[in-house]
Structure 1
Amino acid sequence: MSRKCRSRWLVSASLALCAAFAAGQDRQALDRQFQSAVANYDTEHYTEAAAQLEALLPYGSKSFEVHELLGLIYAAQSQDSKAVDQLEIAAHLKPDSAAARTNLAASLFHAGKSVQAEEQFRKALELDPQDYDANHNLGELYVQSRNMTEAIPLLEKAQKIRPSYDNGYDLALAYFLTGKLDQARQLVQNLELIKDTGELHNLRAQIEEKDGKYLAAVNEYETAAHMDPSENNLFDWGSELLLHRTYEPAIEVFQQATQRYSKSPRLFIGLGMALYSRGKYDDAVKALLTAADLNPSDPRCYLFLSKAYGASPNETDDVIRRFRRYADLEPNNAQAVYYYAMSLWKGKRVEDPGQDLQDVESLLEKSITLDPNLADAYVQLGNFYADKREYAKSVPEYESALKLNPNLADAHYRLGQDYVHTGEKDRAQAEFEVYQRLRAEQLAEVDKERAEVQQFVYSEKEASSSTKQ
């Protein structure tokens, strides 16, 4: 829904305006001032137009045209509350105007009042059921609220009334989101004949991906990025390559993207993930440190930074500093405290294995207090005690972790080692057997890691889609 609506009433005769102005005034002068405001609106000189119309309000309180145009000007300036006030008056003055209802609905929607917007769009449609705008606008509202069942019939009708790119794109998107992939693909192909755009190729890529046609999806994302190298298109192209483990091309795309959009945390996260997956751990850490600085509160960045740092001995001080900051920003976040503990522990082991690690122990205990279901924290606290040969303390920590997640292979192995040290050979053998079985299922860990990548990519795409709409 565009903020600037072309209003058909602007061609109305000056005599109609004059009749609406208060008696006893120079009506021709007022009308000239109104027409000047119209000209300023048309040339997007909104401040001047608003000042002219505000001066007219005392003389034209009953003028539909004055209130309507002033409302449209406020809408163009993103002054949604003021726009709604004026457009409500206009709709009251001319309740049978479908255009007035449409303009009011658009401003209500932009003001965050979607229920009231839907009501006005419906009234506009009732006033003119065969109007393209009435069908399209209500259909688009339903697309943006993800109500595709209501959206599709309206968008189909609008497309029959007047085939257009904007309505067609909304309809193709609705088809895609409801799994009507053949209809979506065909409509996109038809729209390319009207206007070939990057966003169309991006949508077609999503269609091909959902249909399991990976190579076609990659090609469409690449085309979209070349036609329109926006942050979204570059992210989608790189992410598609990353999802399907073509890491070197993904790295190249994300590197180019981060050079173009150096303030985008998600692009640096994507680059870090691609570098990590390719085994370039030092470079991955550097990319993820940049992402952490760009968005210090994004938990996904720290998940992948913890993985990359676990495989890289470098950047210790910088990594610890970022995890400390995250823990300070999120003092009640068990995962943040856990990450800080682990980064500190690794850093101290690198610097001096004999250092006092009491602060690490305290942080691990705090993370468990904050989240008693954080199995990894129990495992690491068990490792902490086992390294000190305090098996009476380490065994219960491993057992607690395995109650929460019986598939933690390393916990079974470390628990087996502790049983060896405490002389419980049968129990140790049982734990080692479980460990061997779980290690044989290493593919599950690969799948888990890929699921984490998918979760990041799809959540970013969903967020991007919501922002665009």
Structure 2
Amino acid sequence: MTAHFFTSGFAFHAHRLALLLAVISLAPAGLSAQTISTADQQAFARAMDAMNRGDAATAEPLLRQLHTRHPRSFEIDESLGLLLAGEDKVSEALPLLETAATVQPASDVAHANLGTAYLKLNRPKDAVHELERAAQLNPSNAATQQALGQALMQLNQPGPAAAAYRAALTAQPDDPTLLYNTALAEYTAGDAAAAAPLLARLPGADSSAEAQSLLGDVDEKLGQYKEAAQHYANAVHLAPTEPNQYVLGIELLRHWTFGPAVDVFNAGIQQFPDSRRMHTGLGIAYYANGDYAKAIPVFADLLAADSSNEMYAELLGRVCTVLTEGSDPRCTALIDFAKKHPQNAILATYAATSILHQPSDAAQLELAGHLLASAVHAQPDLPEARYGMGLLLQTRGQWAESVPELEAAIRLRPEYAAAHYRLALALNHTGQREKAQEEIALERRFSTEERNNVEARLKQVKTLLVTMQ
């Protein structure tokens, strides 16, 4: 899933929170009859006329002078606050709008404008307080409801945001911005089924990369995987950004389309060579596709660039342990990493296994033993560590001693084919040939199941994808 943002306009690519003051507010038409001189009444009228013409240079000094003489006039404070906010002087406008909302607490427009100013100043909690008050006073104001929806989305409250957006849609059912934002809120709240018909009504969705990406997420959640992939591909075509390219690659991996995923990530790296997650996706695609020799240098390069990154080390270790004959020299990077992170049982096991997969001298075998002992101590129920200990003992010719370690690995994972095979070897060396034959039968059974179990392989890939999130 890509990261989506609510939008203040139908230009989906922008996704900036636009100030809605001009939409929500109506400048006061005139001053209420108080102890205000005729001259000030006329000055205010001139200021309003200038504001209506878009002549802020004329209106601002008039309103500032009036504010000095009448510091708690709703009409003056509200008008000057709106003018300053329109010039992006929101911090200066805020106290004026706060005063106006205090002077006339029953004005929904005053609360709406104050709430929107808070929203612009990245104070969503304060914005929600004011906008909810405005919506209570006038629930039919679509602009208020839309601003409330945006504030709630900033507070990560998509459910209430969707309700606010739906209220706005009642007044503006064909507004593309509202349709998109409502769909996004519904999807984020976990209701993809409610988002789908809203997106179907969205005009111009075919030409919007952001809409296509959200459509892909909705289809993915609804189990319409073919349609989801097409929408993600459309998003890449419309806007070949790094996030869009990445999401398409992940979608292909998620549904076991490994060859095309390799192509997508390779293309992404050509465009975005510094994107580490694009390289990570390529390595996983190679691994999933059985191209282990290609996956190893990808993960090794990532680890070399970020030598303390446990995720890269685990990915390298996972693919290096697939090798059952020989080794790749770049797998030795795991050893240095494991020495520095002895508490990481799985990485210590991977590093020890990489040693055992290559011709090793006594010192190297001693290091493997130390790593495996650390792994077993840190995580006694890790079957790979117990298997690795059994393999090490067999490498030293200690066949009888390897039996309890391999039996422990099998207790922890009964379908562990390699452990059954190694246990069979140990039993055969210790004269227990009948039991050895039983273990060989189990090894053949579980090996066949591993080769044929597509779901198991897909589960491995999904496990790798989780590490990338």
Report the TM range for the smaller structure's normalisation. Answer: 0.7 to 0.9
In the TM superposition, what are the counterparts of 1:301-380 in structure 2 within 5 Å?
301-310=312-321, 316-317=329-330, 319-321=331-333, 324-325=336-337, 328=340, 330-346=341-357, 349-350=358-359, 352=360, 356-380=364-388
In the TM superposition, what are the counterparts of 1:152-167 in structure 2 within 5 Å?
152-162=162-172, 163-167=174-178
Choose which of 197, 203, 211 in structure 2 pairs with 1:200: 211
2:201 partner SS: helix
Match of 2:273 in 1: 262
Q: 1:387 to 1:187 in 2, by over 3 A?
A: same
Cα offset, 1:145, TM superposition: 6.3
CA distance in 1, matches of 2:99, 2:342: 50
Q: 1:60 to 1:301 in 2, by over 3 A?
A: farther
CA distance in 2, matches of 1:100, 1:289: 55
Q: Which range is displaced more, 360-369 or 63-72?
A: 63-72
- Provide the aligned C-alpha RMSD in A: 4.5
CA distance in 1, matches of 2:179, 2:232: 20
Uncovered stretches (5+) of structure 1, i.e. residues with no partner? 21-26, 42-48, 50-56, 464-469
What residue identity is the alignment partner of 1:449? R
CA distance in 1, matches of 2:411, 2:96: 63
TM-score (norm 2): 0.73
Q: 1:67 to 1:185 in 2, by over 3 A?
A: closer
Q: 1:394 to 1:266 in 2, by over 3 A?
A: same
Q: 1:61 to 1:259 in 2, by over 3 A?
A: farther
What residue identity is the alignment partner of 1:332? Q
- From the CA coordinates, give the structure whose radius of gyration is larger: 2
Cα offset, 1:436, TM superposition: 3.0
Q: 1:342 to 1:459 in 2, by over 3 A?
A: closer
Match of 1:135 in 2: 145
The alignment status of 1:7 with 2:21, answered yes or no, reads: yes
What residue identity is the alignment partner of 2:284? M
Cα offset, 1:5, TM superposition: 1.5
**Deviations, residues 214-239 of structure 1 (Å, cap 9, x unaligned):** 33322221111010112221012122
1:245 partner SS: coil
Cα offset, 1:130, TM superposition: 1.4
**Deviations, residues 406-440 of structure 1 (Å, cap 9, x unaligned):** 22121122122212222233433433333233223
Match of 2:12 in 1: none
Match of 2:181 in 1: 170
Choose which of 402, 406, 415 in structure 2 pairs with 1:407: 415
Match of 1:44 in 2: none
Match of 1:223 in 2: 234
Match of 2:119 in 1: 106
- 8 Å Cα contact 1:266/1:291 also seen in 2: no
- 8 Å Cα contact 2:417/2:442 also seen in 1: yes
- 8 Å Cα contact 1:67/1:89 also seen in 2: no
Q: 1:150 to 1:15 in 2, by over 3 A?
A: closer
**Deviations, residues 288-311 of structure 1 (Å, cap 9, x unaligned):** 233335555554433332233345
1:102 partner SS: helix
2:202 partner SS: helix
1:363 partner SS: helix
Cα offset, 1:176, TM superposition: 4.3
CA distance in 2, matches of 1:457, 1:69: 50
**Of Structure 1 and Structure 2, which has the larger fraction of its residues in helix?**
1
Match of 1:386 in 2: 394
Identity of aligned residues (%): 25
**Deviations, residues 376-434 of structure 1 (Å, cap 9, x unaligned):** 11110111112112234322222222332222121122122212222233433433333
User: Greater relative contact order: 1 or 2 (C-alpha under 8 angstroms, separation 6 or more)?
Assistant: 2
Uncovered stretches (5+) of structure 2, i.e. residues with no partner? 1-5, 7-15, 37-42, 61-66
Choose which of 279, 300, 306 in structure 1 pairs with 2:290: 279
TM-score (norm 1): 0.73
Cα offset, 1:177, TM superposition: 5.6
Aligned residues: 424
Cα offset, 1:455, TM superposition: 4.2
The alignment status of 1:124 with 2:134, answered yes or no, reads: yes
